[in-house]
Amino acid sequence: MTVIAVIGAGAMGSGIGRVLAEGGAVVVTNLDGRSAATKKRAADAGMREAGWQEIVSADIILSIIPPSEAVEVATRVAATALAAGKTPVFVDCNAIAPDTMAAVAAAAAKGGAQVVDGSIIGMPPVPKSGETAAKVPMLYLSGGPDGIETLLSDHGLKVTRLEGEIGAASALKMCYSGINKGLVGLGTAMYLAAIRSGADDGLRRELAASVPQVADRLARGIPDMYAKAYRWGGRDGGDRRFSRQGRSRRPDLSRHGRPLSQDGRRPGGRRRTGGSARCDGGGQRNTMIA
């Protein structure tokens, strides 16, 4: 029987553990120093408490913890694996920047671990209830040994392997998170400004009328932000560093927007108006809009 260790028994970790246990895996987790509430949550999810030696003996280890603890946990796994003579498959599933993932990989590899970069996109799993189907987030993987995605999929997870090496899955999470949380952050700031000016009701009505998708996203995203915003600070600026690194390159965005001709016309002959087009440092007109 497949044994999967899940380090971290928070909402996401215990939810993933429940899916794997219901999918037929033996799920173990380390609960040293954890609260009674966390231990109960893990037990309710079908996760069995285990020591670190048993953790590194599992077929796969999934690290699902606060981002600020990622390197420390990888170091702990490496030291235990080295002492036990094990070479575990270690999947870091945390919301960390690619440079932090590189540090995690280096730390885990010192103990002989086979490292896989992972990122989870979506809310914690929700079990099936009546006519409502179960909801499981997507786990993206990059780098490391092949076959991990099949084993995890066979036990109930939704898994997609990316073509890139270690760092690609973390980069995907950073990009997705930046768009998602950036939208919520911008919306929050604008709502606060509207409230101060007495324009909040009008803003809400206009958003609902002209961009209902944005209105709906903010209506769900802003209340949901409060309970988990504390975790964003634990990334130690990784997403900001990552976005600044992206600015040093000029990738081809033609797959992600509508091309404009050099005179600012969209396909079909309409000239674009407004001040969005600009020239880059070499005098070339930036001819892409999102």
Pair (261, 238) in one structural domain? no
The overall pTM is greater than 0.75? yes
- Tell me: do 85 and 107 sit in the same domain: yes
User: Are residues 194 and 137 located together in one domain of the fold?
Assistant: no
pLDDT of residue 241: 59
Per-residue pLDDT band for 276 (boundaries 50, 70, 90) equals very low
Query: Is residue 155 located within the same domain as residue 181?
Result: no
Contact 171, 151 (CB under 8 A): no
Express each pLDDT in 146-182 by its tens digit.
Answer: 999 999 999 999 999 999 999 999 999 999 988 988 8
214 with 286, same domain?
Answer: no
Domain containing 148 — which CATH number? 3.40.50.720
Q: In terms of domains, do 125 and 218 share one?
A: no
Question: How many helical (H) and strand (E) elements, i.e. helices and strands, does the chain have?
Answer: 10, 12
Domain boundaries, position 267: 250-290
Is 101:167 a contact under the CB 8 Å cutoff? yes
Partnered with residue 90 across adjacent β-strands are 61, 115
Task: Count how many domains the chain has.
Answer: 3
In this structure, the answer to whether residues 43 and 127 fall within a common structural domain is yes
Same domain, 238 and 226: yes
The answer to whether residues 88 and 58 touch, using CB atoms and an 8 Å cutoff, is yes
